[in-house]
Amino acid sequence: MVLELGEKLGPLTVAYETYGKLNPQKSNAILVAHALSGDSHAAGSNGWWDSLIGPGKGLDTNRYFVICSNVIGGCRGSTGPSSLNPKTGKPYGTDFPLITVGDMVQAQKNLIEHLGIHKLLSVIGGSMGGMQVLQWMMSFPEKIGSAIPIATTMKHTPQQIAFNEVGRQAIMADPDWKGGHYYGSAVPAKGLAVARMIGHITYMSDVSMAEKFGRRIRQDKQPFKFSPEFEVEGYLQNRGDNFVKRFDANSYLYITKAIDYFNLQNGKNAACIFNGLKTRVLVISFKSDWLYPTYQSLGIVKACKLAGVDTTYCEINSSYGHDSFLLETKQENELISHFLHGVSNGQRGSQ
């Protein structure tokens, strides 16, 4: 595959899971795009969006064929920096080319075609998954019947880039990172854990942290003055340590860079972004999300309006912060299920 920035990448592996059955007309397929730390295991036991995908749920697997693939650049089965470089026989490390959200979507499109699906009924995702949805809307409007971008943005802001940069610096400051060629030896665990801790802070809200932890102190005896004492400290360290077990530090660098570079507008007139898009769009944001605030979703809605796209927009009143898209499932399920019902019945607000 030729990447957006000109380099070639191949052979390319794309790991994916599917749920439900593809109908004979191949018209009931929905692509789920995952966020920064997600993977193709969206549903079932420990699936990251199991609350939304399954029989009778918003993405009803009795009706729809749901596909979720790991993004390229990732570390959960799809080709990424930890994969073997065919030229050297060793893991790519930082020799892996820079990838973009556009490349992630191109790989998904190749997968969809490989599965013999001409047109998706819908493409849905939150956060970085939402960016992929927007990229689909712009790059392959004729390939999607509807789109559901959630808690996302058309371009990363300096604040969003800044948080990612702190995460990247933490990884690269870890002596075990070794310029990215650490495979086969100790991984930069401390750096990646700190990056994940910063990420987690941005996914929660002031209110949700106060509710979850308060100023509670951990009961177990601490061996050292600066061991985690407050519950929130222990929680973050725990999340950081667990993340290291399942995620590759270089993938974190590559994927955060891809979303930092994401800029759908890229100097274009807002009215032109979704020109010619004939699909229905459902945009969802969350009131307490300060990482991808509502105004960014309103920017998407505005671009849709200007392009005359048939759009529904709802801000869900939730206190979980950016994590709401994974947690505020009742309202989300209801909106998505009704919206998809309308789309799959061909019942449109328009003619």
Partner 1 sequence: MDSKAIKIEHRIILEWVKEGASVLDLGCGDGELLALLIAKKHVHAQGIELSEDTIRRCVALGLSVFQQDIDTGLSEYANSSFDYVILNQTLQQVKKPDFAVKEALRVGKQVIIGFPNFVHVSARLQILKGRVPVNRALPYEWYDTPNLHFLGIADFKNYCKKRKILIEKSAPLTKKGIAKLFPNLLAERGLFLLKGT
Q: Which is nearer to partner 1, 216 or 341 (CB)?
A: 341
Find the catalytic residue in 103, 174, 260, 289: 289
Q: Which is nearer to partner 1, 187 or 316 (CB)?
A: 316
Find the catalytic residue in 37, 83, 127, 205: 127
CB of 270 to partner 1, least distance (A): 9
Q: Which is nearer to partner 1, 312 or 319 (CB)?
A: 312
The two three-digit tokens of residue 250, written as one number: 């270089």
122 noted as active-site residue: no
CB of 302 to partner 1, least distance (A): 5
Q: Which is nearer to partner 1, 231 or 310 (CB)?
A: 310
322 noted as active-site residue: yes
CB of 346 to partner 1, least distance (A): 10
CB of 300 to partner 1, least distance (A): 11
Q: Which is nearer to partner 1, 75 or 282 (CB)?
A: 282
CB of 350 to partner 1, least distance (A): 4
127 noted as active-site residue: yes
Find the catalytic residue in 322, 323, 324, 344: 322
Contact footprint for partner 1 (CB under 8 A): 280, 282, 301-302, 305-306, 308, 310-317, 331, 334-335, 338-339, 341-342, 345, 347-351
**What amino acid positions are annotated as catalytic residues?**
127, 289, 322
